[in-house]
A and B are shown apart, each in its own frame.
Chain A
Amino acid sequence: MRVLSRRKRIANGVLVAVMLLLSLLFLFPVVWMIANSFKPDGQITADMNSLSAFLPPALNGGFFDNYVTILTNTSFLKYMLNTLFYAAILIVLGIVVNGLAGYALAKIRFPFRERWLLIIMLLMIVPMETIITIHFLFVAKVGLLNNVIGYILPMIVNPFNIFLFRQVFISLLDDVYEAAQLDHCSPVKYFFTMVLPMSRSVVATVSVFTFLNVWNDYLWPSLVFTSSDLLTAQIGLGAITANENTTMGQTLAAITLITIPVIIIYSFFSKQIVEGVVSTGSKEG
């Protein structure tokens, strides 16, 4: 192990202290939210001007009341499960479709390949909001409003992910493909049993991005879905908080529930997220 000089150790210590303070700054709304999500509204107001606004209440019988209400009296659990389901489908389809496209752009020679790549990269700078009307009109025209398929179809193709896949696949060695050919491995089989496992890291990155994208998206599901059976968590949250019977504490509980997966994902997959941001040079969503 490296022995740090005294000066370096002090510098390190100062740096850590500063970062801790900074992270507290960013954390305090989250702490406030979680602490108050366990309180009835009366107590939230009472605690508002004291330090106990950042502390959870004493553990008593009613500790989880807000959560129980949200999960049993509203459809919020169903909305969250809906969203998980959509995310799962979109992760699988997204990997297959964008992965295949990325593979073609990286490894298969075809006319105007570079032009295609350029077009796809140009798509990356077009904000989603500008094409969403076209998506909406299209989905409406084919009669897929209020339909899972109508929701999912326009979300599958993602230029960021295509580019991400392409960047990784381009460094795969061609002789592995040639060896696989001699081992009687078909191109499709090669893609699924060799390319994807060899590129586990980018597959994870794309999965994480896709999940966060689906989980946090508000605009598109709010356009496509009107039936409450199909709503996503974000839309559901909007509906629940808009209801005047919902208390402040319940609202905070719902927001906490919707935030937890994101926090978990960020803490477990920060490496993949950084990798994704670094290798495309941009952050989506």
Chain B
Amino acid sequence: MSFIELKHINKRYPGVDKNAVTDFNLEINEKEFIAFVGPSGCGKSTTLRMIAGFEDITGGELMIDGVRMNEVAPRDRGISMVFQNYALYPHMTVEKNIAYGLQNMKVPKDEIKKKVEWAIDILGLQEYRYRKPKNLSGGQRQRVALGRAIVKDQKVFLMDEPLSNLDAKLRVSMRNEISKLHRSLGSTTIYVTHDQVEAMTMADRIVIMKDGVVQQVGAPMELYEHPQNKFVAGFIGSPQMNFYDVTVSGSTVTFADGSRMTLPQVIADKLSACGGELILGIRGEDIKFDSQNLGLYGESKQQAVIENTEIMGNENNLYFTFGGALTVARVSKYEVSRIGDSVEFVFVPHKMHFFDKETERVIG
């Protein structure tokens, strides 16, 4: 049986005539690391706060470890939480911040001491133990917040954008620290972020939300390779997937600017049922310039003039107009093309995604 269950969860804030979260269903296994991602305002925090108990659940049922939690007070749900703004107690030292919960829970003194020592140790806070939060950097504060969460031995960790106030470099190292902590503690974790890279690198499974509705749930690579709709396809991956309005008839794809490609028969067969006007999506790295691929898919070869380049070092992005849309291709650093160069390329056929124009759902 799954450890946390969200069954048909709905949330409507009083005085708002629209759901913030609609029919949210999810089963989370013990020790799983789940990430909620989505654009701002999509209901990630609201869902997390319903799990924590800080927001009432308007409809549906929340189960943790087989017990209905809808009416249970936050402190009795067996959770700890890390907040975006750290939410440290400003008038207490690092040590007291971490110990505070245990003291209130009437844990014996020597045990508190041991636990606080342990947390301070693994989070590298030895030097700062007698400092107040205002004398710490953002990264140190967030580590104190983590310490406060882990000493309580709760089974569930909730984190709401814990790294969004940190600079890019620190974010990467804290990301690793949180992943490491999760592996060593084995607590079930729900992690809210609007940063798809964080979600991709840390989570076992990702929940993608939009306008309060879950779009897709799955392992990172599953979402990357098999997005269920155009929104997911566009949200996951950077640079964004390229989208084109196309017409498919038989095995021929016609783009808005008249360019044509030929599809392998298996793909054409899958599309035949709903042929006609579709959206074609392809990721930058699935646009190929090398002679081997050009040879393989030669009959669909296309041409374009590079309009812009982004040199990243390890790889480069090439921008050009094709099929009536600005297209970005991601190439290795050995692929040297400059602005103004004329290039030949192909789309790797089995990496193309087709979406219904109306519903934006994936086809095939």
- State whether A182 touches B89 (Cβ < 8 A): no
In the complex, what distance in Å separates the CA atom of A160 from the CA atom of B43? 40
- A175 partner, pick from B74, B85, B101, beta carbons under 8 A: B85
* A273, chain B: closest CB distance, angstroms: 23
Instruction: State how many angstroms separate the Cβ of A113 from the closest Cβ of chain B.
Output: 14
Interface residues of B: mostly helix, strand, loop or mixed?
A: loop
A184 close to chain B: CB less than 8 A: yes
Q: How many A-B residue pairs have CB under 8 A?
A: 55
What's the Cα separation between A59 and B185 when bound, in Å? 77
Q: Which of B81, B90, B105 contacts A178 (CB 8 A)?
A: B81
Q: Is A183 an interface residue (CB 8 A)?
A: yes
The answer to the question of A31 belonging to the interface, with a C-beta cut-off of 8 Å to chain B, is no
The answer to the question of B100 belonging to the interface, with a C-beta cut-off of 8 Å to chain A, is yes
Residues from chain B with Cβ under 8 Å of A179 in the complex: 81, 83, 87-89, 148
B contact residues around A96 at 8 Å (CB): none
**Chain B residues near A173 (CB-CB < 8 A):** 85, 87
Q: A175-B85, A179-B83, A183-B100 are in contact. Are A198 and B148 (CB under 8 A)?
A: no
Query: Do B89 and A180 have beta carbons less than 8 Å apart?
Result: yes
User: Which residues B86-144 have CB closer than 8 A to chain A?
Assistant: 87-91, 100-101, 104-105
List residues of chain B with CB within 8 A of the CB of A197.
91
Contact assessment for B74 and A182 in the assembled complex, using a CB-CB cutoff below 8 Å: yes
For A176, list chain B residues within 8 Å (CB).
Answer: 87-90
Per-residue CB contact flags for chain A residues 189-214 toward chain B (1 = under 8 Å, else 0) read 10000100110100000000000000
Beyond A179-B148, A197-B91, is A184–B85 a contact (Cβ under 8 Å)? no
Is residue A185 contacting chain B, with contact meaning CB distance below 8 A? yes
**B104 → A minimal CB distance (Å):** 4
Nearest chain A CB to B47 CB, angstrom units: 15
Q: Are B101 and A183 in contact (CB under 8 A)?
A: yes
Task: Give the residue of A181, A189, A194, A198 whose beta carbon is less than 8 angstroms from that of B74.
Answer: A181
Task: Judge whether A175 and B83 touch: CB under 8 Å.
Answer: yes
Which of A178, A194, A198, A200 has a CB less than 8 Å from the CB of B83? A178
Known: A173-B85, A175-B83, A175-B85. A182 touches B101 (CB 8 A): yes
B232 contacts the other chain (Cβ, under 8 Å)? no
Query: CA separation between A173 and B148, bound complex, in Å?
Result: 18
B64-81: CB near A (< 8 Å → 1, else 0) gives 000000000111000111
**Complex Cα–Cα for A175 and B75 (A):** 14
Interface members, chain B 39-71 (any A CB < 8 Å): 52, 54
Given contact pairs A176-B87, A176-B89, A184 touches B75 in the complex (Cβ within 8 A): yes
Q: In the complex, what distance in Å separates the CA atom of A189 from the CA atom of B101?
A: 13
Question: Contact: B81 with A182, CB < 8 Å?
Answer: yes
Residue of A nearest to B101 (CB): A183
Which residues from chain A contact B105 at a C-beta distance below 8 Å? 184
Q: How many Å lie between the Cα of A173 and that of B90 in the bound state? A: 11
Minimum CB–CB distance for B200 against chain A, Å = 27
Nearest A residue to B158 by beta-carbon distance?
Answer: A182
**Distance A194 CA – B97 CA, assembled complex (angstroms):** 12
Q: Which residues of A contact B89 (CB under 8 A)?
A: 176, 179-180, 194, 198
Q: How far, in whole Å, are A131 and B114 apart by their CA atoms in the complex? A: 59
CB interface residues, A 35-80, toward B, < 8 Å: none
Cβ–Cβ contact A198 & B104, under 8 A: no
Q: Which residues of A contact B148 (CB under 8 A)?
A: 179, 183
Most A CB within 10 A of own CB, among B73, B80, B83, B152: B83
Quick check: A198 and B101 within 8 Å, CB to CB?
no
Q: In the docked arrangement, what's the CA distance between A197 and B100, Å?
A: 15
Chain A residues with CB under 8 Å of B88's CB are 176, 179
Residues of the A chain whose Cβ atoms lie less than 8 Å from the Cβ of B73: 181
B104 pairs with A185, CB closer than 8 A: yes
Q: Which residue on B lies nearest to A180, using beta carbons? A: B89
Q: Of the candidates A181, A189, A198, A200, which one forms a contact with B75 in the assembled complex, judged by CB atoms under 8 Å apart? A: A181
Note all chain A residues with C-beta closer than 8 A to B81: 178-179, 182
Interface centre among A184, A189, A200 (most CB of B within 10 A): A184
- Please state if B100 and A175 are interface contacts (CB–CB under 8 Å): no
Mask of A129-173 contacts with B, CB within 8 angstroms, 1/0: 000000000000000000000000000000000000000000001
Known: A173-B87, A198-B91. A178 touches B74 (CB 8 A): yes
Closest residue of B by beta carbon distance from A175: B87
Instruction: Give the complex CA separation of A184 and B104 in angstroms.
Output: 6
Q: Which residue of B lies closest to A189 (CB)?
A: B104
Do A183 and B74 have beta carbons less than 8 Å apart? no
Q: How far is the CA of A175 from the CA of B85 in the complex (A)?
A: 8
Whether the Cβ atoms of A182 and B91 lie closer than 8 Å is: no
CB distance from B148 to the nearest CB of A (A): 7
Contact B80 A182 (CB under 8 A): yes
Closest residue of chain A to B102, judged by CB?
Answer: A183
- Chosen A-B contacts, 15 in total, with CB atoms closer than 8 Å, are A173-B87, A175-B84, A175-B87, A176-B87, A178-B83, A179-B89, A181-B74, A182-B74, A182-B75, A182-B81, A182-B101, A184-B101, A184-B104, A185-B100, A198-B91
Q: Residues of A at under 8 Å CB distance from B?
A: 173, 175-176, 178-185, 189, 194, 197-198, 200
What are the nearest 4 A-B pairs in CB distance? A183-B101, A175-B87, A184-B104, A179-B87
New A-B contacts (12) at CB < 8 Å, excluding given A178-B54, A194-B89, A197-B91: A175-B84, A175-B87, A176-B87, A176-B88, A176-B90, A179-B89, A179-B148, A182-B52, A183-B104, A183-B148, A198-B89, A198-B90
